[in-house]
Every structure is written in structure tokens, then in C-alpha cells.
Structure 1
Amino acid sequence: MNERSLSQLQAYKGISPKPADFDQYWERALYELDAQPLDYELVPAEFTSELAECFHLYFRGVGGARVHCKYVRPKKAAGEKGPGVVMFHGYSCDSGDWLEKVAYAAHGFSVLAMDCRGQGGLSEDNLTVQGTTIRGHIIRGIDDPDPDNLYYRNVFLDTVQTARILMAMPEVDPARVGASGLSQGGGLTVACASLEPRIAVAVPVYPFLSDYKRAWEANITTSAYEEINYYFRFFDPHHLREDEIFNRLGYIDIQNLADRIQGKVLWVTGLVDTICPPSTQFAAYNKITAPKDLMVYHEYGHEYLPYLADRMLQMLMTL
């Protein structure tokens, strides 16, 4: 995988296409989401803390899927409104342990951490599509006649619904809500902040789901981007439909959403990332017009990043 220098990355705008009807696609999607009630069910969690109240939260997303989140709020006097943060997890994982959320609650945050449909958590995936679903979710729905049946369309909308539910909580100030996540969670952070403009602070860390054609050209076969290679290998080995496929993926490409972000952004990347290549990340970062800052780990890739958790909290404390 040949990557560019940092100066070249800071000028890179991506090579994967943006569909001509991209804006109409997401306007239609948000219109559908607007019809979804913000109703939810709270179930006390088996985990307890002296610092916070912990719940399982369930809501119905677009298409009727039951989506699960972990909800943690600080124990404080009724009527007080504080900051909130929505959290998104990495590919195939789940919303994580309670402890991380309690640490945020100890700083006054209400936290809503979403499980992605059909991955490692408790959210269901009820999407029925035509065509293959080989190897994962990026290509789920790629052969369906209706591009509205792309898997990640629904997940992107779930992130917005999650944020809207948190903003509507009586203990949360809707003007002080942020979003954060790593890898897939970083990509979903960008999608959420793009489609819900009230997100005031976003902290995406080495985000996935960006500039698919670049990931394919870089021959990424050690991450979920390999799904694209598998698709071509089995269903279009002569690449007769290459332009069509990458155009379809453009609907769920975060680089095509990034210019919608209105809140502050702290973007975190490692320059030797072989899972989500830096170029794919910069394709989205360079399109952000909102206030933004870049934190670069020069010798790090898709891995534990020292001081990151502290910096993320400090950024979100600006809410």
C-alpha cells in the first residue's frame, strides 16, 4: 500500500464518486426518519454504579428494526441539564463496557452508546435485500434495485435517531451534545454529525467507510474493505460494472457527507494505518468546512493510541 506524505494527504480530496442525486437521496432518508417517533424503552442494567444510573435503551429505527443502546446518566438533582455524548463502536463489535460511560457520567455527561444492527451487540438487522451479502455489510444491498436498501443507510439514520433521543432527554441540554467513535465508530461519528447538524462536537478516530475506490486501489484485504474485493472477484471479475458499483457505494461514503458538518471537529489519524488508509480518512477530513483540528500519530496505525482517551474527554468537555 503506497500512501502519500502528510502534505499530500492534506490536499487529497478522494477519488470515489458522489452520485448525482446524493443530496436528494439523503433528503428522502431524513424525511423518512422524521416520521419515526423518538419513543424508547429503558430497562435497568445489571451493572450498577454509585456515580451513575445505567440502562439498556431500545428504540425502533427505520424499517422497524429494534435498536439497542447503553444509556448512562449521572446521579444529580432532577431538572438539571448537562452535556451529552453519543458513542459508536468499531466494525462487528458492540457498544462496549459500562465503565467508559460511567467515567463520562462522573464528569457530568449523559451517554448513549449505540449497537449497530446485526453486529456484535443486541440490535437486530431486519433488512431484506436482493443480491449477495458476502463477507459483510458494506456491500449489503449493493445489487438491490433500490439504493435505499443499502445497509449503512439505515445505520447512518440510526445514529441520527440516537442523537435525537439523547437531545430530547430531560437531563440533557440539546445544544451541548457531541459524538465520538473509533474506526467504524469514527465513520458513524462523521455520518451522525453530518446528518444531525446540532451535534456540537465530533471526535472521529481513524474513521472507516470513506473513499471506497481508494481503499480498493490500495488493495486493502486485511479489513472490512476487503468486501469490495470479494464482490468483484465473485460477481464482476472483469469489472464491467466498476463505475456503477463505486457510484452506488457513494451514497454511503462519509467523504460525501463531511461538508455538512456544522459543529467543531477533532479528527484523529495514524499515518501508518493499514486498515483504514490515511488517504481515505483525509478524503473526508479535507471536505469539512466547520472548525476542525487534526491530531496526527505519525508512527501509529489502527491500534491503541496513547493519550487519546484523555484528549477526547478534554475536547468533549468544551461542550
Structure 2
Amino acid sequence: MPRFDLPLQALRAYLPEVDEPTDFDGFWAATLRESRAAGATAEAAGASGNAVVRTPVPSPLALFDVEDVRFPGFAGDPVRAWLVLPRGLPRPLPAVVEFVGYGRGRGLAHERLHWPSAGYAQLIVDTRGQGSQYGTGGATPDPHGSGPAAPGFLTRGIDAPETYYYRRVFTDAVRAIDAVRTFPEIDPAAVAVVGNSQGGAIAIAAAGLSDGLVAVLPSAPILSDLRRVIGLTGEEPYAEIVRYLAVHRGAEDRIFETLSYFDGVSFAKRATAPALFSTGHMDTIAPPSGVYAAKNHWGAPAELVDYPWNHHEGGESVHWERQAEWLAEVLAYA
């Protein structure tokens, strides 16, 4: 794959002005207020409703405790997650809330033990309606319908921001942070969010919508600088929107108006926690200019690690070592 995006010096200076609706903050404040109210109603209903429920899970893991967590997300809908707690460490623990990539679910609790092995509590959050394209599955339905859409998730409910799929997903992410902060084993002032690809986009949105996070670690995030990156390559998932617009001729302005409520750049401007990004310069799924757009607009100190010869896999395990070292340093000074 030849290089296709801006050269490194241009990326470092890239600061695009993205479409941002005048009611962006009001839209998200109302969305979160309504969902928190629905969650409070669920809590009042007890275990028979969609309150936060933690269920210990038998596991062959000798060094970790595993729990199946259910918490109220968008509109109070039940969302599932795994909570993995390292044994034998002083509590309360710092926590990492992890969001997963496009098409996969939370999988099995023993699949990603690197953060708990480093001494963190880890909440691995399901993505509603996903979990059947690869990996080992998910357990959270999306009970809300949508109008006509291309196969995939990026065009579901895209006719209006109120019905758009990622309104529900991003709200679920904020509610996951709300939930984990109530757990007595976890220090509510030491919660970080992390994710790769779609998970990175969700982490960015959560950072822009949540106060008091200690750190944000998005790797190869999608969904930033959408006017540029949609159509820049032919790769999924942006190709879903291209196919949709190819059929719905003349809908471009309306569709991009909806997407303006979900562009990672707008969330990045509102972030208050330090961030560590990464990008592969050969990445045609999350083009580096989109990643740099979010990083360069970040509302707090931010670093970005370049992998000049990598595609969407980025730094993989090499980058996780960098993340772990960086997060430990952040926590030491928090």
C-alpha cells in the first residue's frame, strides 16, 4: 500500500475546521440528562429493572476476579460489560474502561488481560448491536430501529442526529464511566478510557462528554474529520456512507449535518484529560489525517505516536507497552 495521505510535517500542522452545529453542546447535554434520568428510574426498580448489576462469573483465572456487569445505557437500555479485577493489590484500584473495534463485541473476559496484569481494574464494554462480525461475540442488543440504511452500522438512523446509531453508542460509553465510578473497588478519580479503531472513536467521544477522566488512549480512531476521510479511500466502514450517498443522491448536506454531531474533532476540543494517540501512515481505514485532526484539536496535553509503515494494525503490542508506560507516568502525577 503506497502512502496516500498528507506528509508528516503537514499532518503535524493539520488543524481543520469541521462542521459543528450551534446546538452541539445542548444536544449532548439533553441526551445524557435523559439517559441518566432513565437509568435512575431503572435503579429505583431494582434488579427487576435495568439497574447496575454485578454478577461474579466462575473462571479458570487464578489471579483475577471476573464479573458480568449490566448497566443502563442510552434510554436506560441494558448494556453488558466484563469487569476484571486483579487480586491481591491495594484498593481502590485505578481503572481502564475499554471500548472495542467495529463489528466485535466484548468477547470473553480472558481474551484481554494486559491491563489487569498491569494492576488496573478493567471494564470491557460491549457495543450495542455488534459482536457478530469477528471475535467471540457480544451480548447487548440495540432495541431501537432505523430508517433505510446500508449494511453495517455507520448509516443506521443517519437521517437525523436524534435517531443516529452512534448517539446511542456514545451515550452508552458515558454511562459505562458513570457506572464504574460507583464500584467500591475503583478509584473514581483514576479512570482512563482506551480503545482501538471504533473503540478509539468511542473513547474520544467519552472524553469530550465526561468530566474528571485521568487519561485517554485512542489508537487509530475512526470518525474524526468526516468531511475529509469519507471517500478518501474505498475501505470499510466509510464505504458504507459512500454507498448510501450513491443511492440517496442529493442527501449529502442532510447526512453530513447529522454526522456533524458525531465528529471526533468536536469531542476532542472539549476533552480535559491528557491523551496518547497512535496512527499508522498506511492506514486506509482510519486515515492519519483524521487521527491528527482530533489530536491537534485536543483540549488538553496530547501526544501521538506515528507508525510510518503500518496499516490499521498500528503498533499493536509494541504500542501497548508505550501506553502502559505513559499511563503509569500520568497517574504518578495526577
Deviation at 1:310, TM superposition (A): 1.1
Pick from 234, 239, 244: which aligns with 1:231? Answer: 244
The letter for the 2-side match of 1:200 is V
Counterpart position of 2:270: 260
- Equivalent residue runs for 1:77-116 within 5 Å: 80-99=91-110, 101-116=112-127
Structure 1 residue 30: Cα displacement: 2.0
Superposition pairs for residues 207-246 of structure 1, below 5 Å? 207-218=221-232, 220-236=233-249, 240-246=250-256
Choose from 309, 314, 327 the match for 1:316. 327
Using the TM superposition, give the Cα deviation of residue 87 of structure 1 relative to its aligned residue in structure 2, in angstroms.
0.2
- The 3-state SS of whatever aligns with 2:272 is coil
Among candidates 48, 52, 64, match of residue 40 of structure 1: 52
Gaps of at least 5 residues in structure 1 are: none
Q: Are residue 177 (structure 1) and residue 191 (structure 2) matched?
A: yes
CA-based RMSD of the aligned residues comes to 1.9
In 2: Cα distance, 1:45 partner to 1:294 partner: 37
- The amino acid across from 1:56 in the alignment is D
Say if 2:214 is the partner of 1:200: yes
Tell me how far 1:46 sits from its aligned partner: 4.3
Show the counterpart of 2:73: 61
Q: Distance in 1 between matches of 2:17 and 2:254?
A: 14
Choose 307-316 or 192-201, whichever is displaced more: 307-316
Residues of 1 paired with 2:97 and 2:8: CA distance?
Answer: 30
SS, match of residue 162 in structure 2 = helix
CA deviation string 1:246-265 (max 9, x = no partner): 12111111111111111110
Aligned sequence identity (%): 34
1:127 — aligned with what? Answer: 144
CA distance in 2, matches of 1:73, 1:94: 20
User: Could you say which residue in structure 2 is the equivalent of 1:19?
Assistant: 21
Cα distance in 2 between the residues matched to 1:84 and 1:100? 17
Which of residues 171, 176, 180 is equivalent to 1:162? Answer: 176
What secondary structure is seen at the aligned counterpart in 2 of 1:148?
Answer: coil
Residue in 2 that maps onto 1:7: 9
Bigger mean CA offset, 242-251 vs 16-25? 16-25
Find runs of 4+ consecutive structure 1 residues off by over 3 angstroms.
99-103
Give the conservation status (yes or no) of the 8 Å contact 1:266–1:295.
yes
**1:94·1:116 contact (CA, 8 Å) conserved in 2?**
yes
Q: What does the per-residue CA deviation read over 1:168-227, in whole Å, with 9 as the maximum and x for residues that have no partner?
A: 110111111111111001111111111112111111000011122212241x32211111
Counterpart selection for 1:296 from 298, 301, 306: 306
What is the match of residue 140 of structure 1? Answer: 156
TM-score (norm 1): 0.91
Whole-angstrom distance in 2 between the partners of 1:100 and 1:118: 20
User: Secondary structure, in 3 states, of the residue corresponding to 1:275?
Assistant: coil
SS at 1:128 equivalent? coil
Amino acid in the other structure paired with 1:125: D
Q: How far is 1:234 from its partner?
A: 1.3
Equivalent residue, structure 1, for 2:287: 277
What stretches of structure 2 of length at least 5 have no aligned partner?
44-50, 132-137
Instruction: Select the residue among 249, 260, 267 that pairs with 2:259.
Output: 249
Gap change, CA 1:11 and 1:206, over 3 Å in 2: same
The structural deviation recorded for 1:9 is 1.2
Residue 165 of structure 1 deviates from its aligned partner by 1.1
Bigger mean CA deviation after superposition, 36-45 or 173-182: 36-45
Q: Secondary structure of the equivalent of 1:112?
A: strand
Bigger CA drift: 25-34 or 187-196? 25-34
Q: Per-residue deviation at 1:25?
A: 1.0
- In the superposition, the TM-score normalised over structure 2's length comes to 0.87
Q: 1:154 Cα deviation (Å)?
A: 1.0
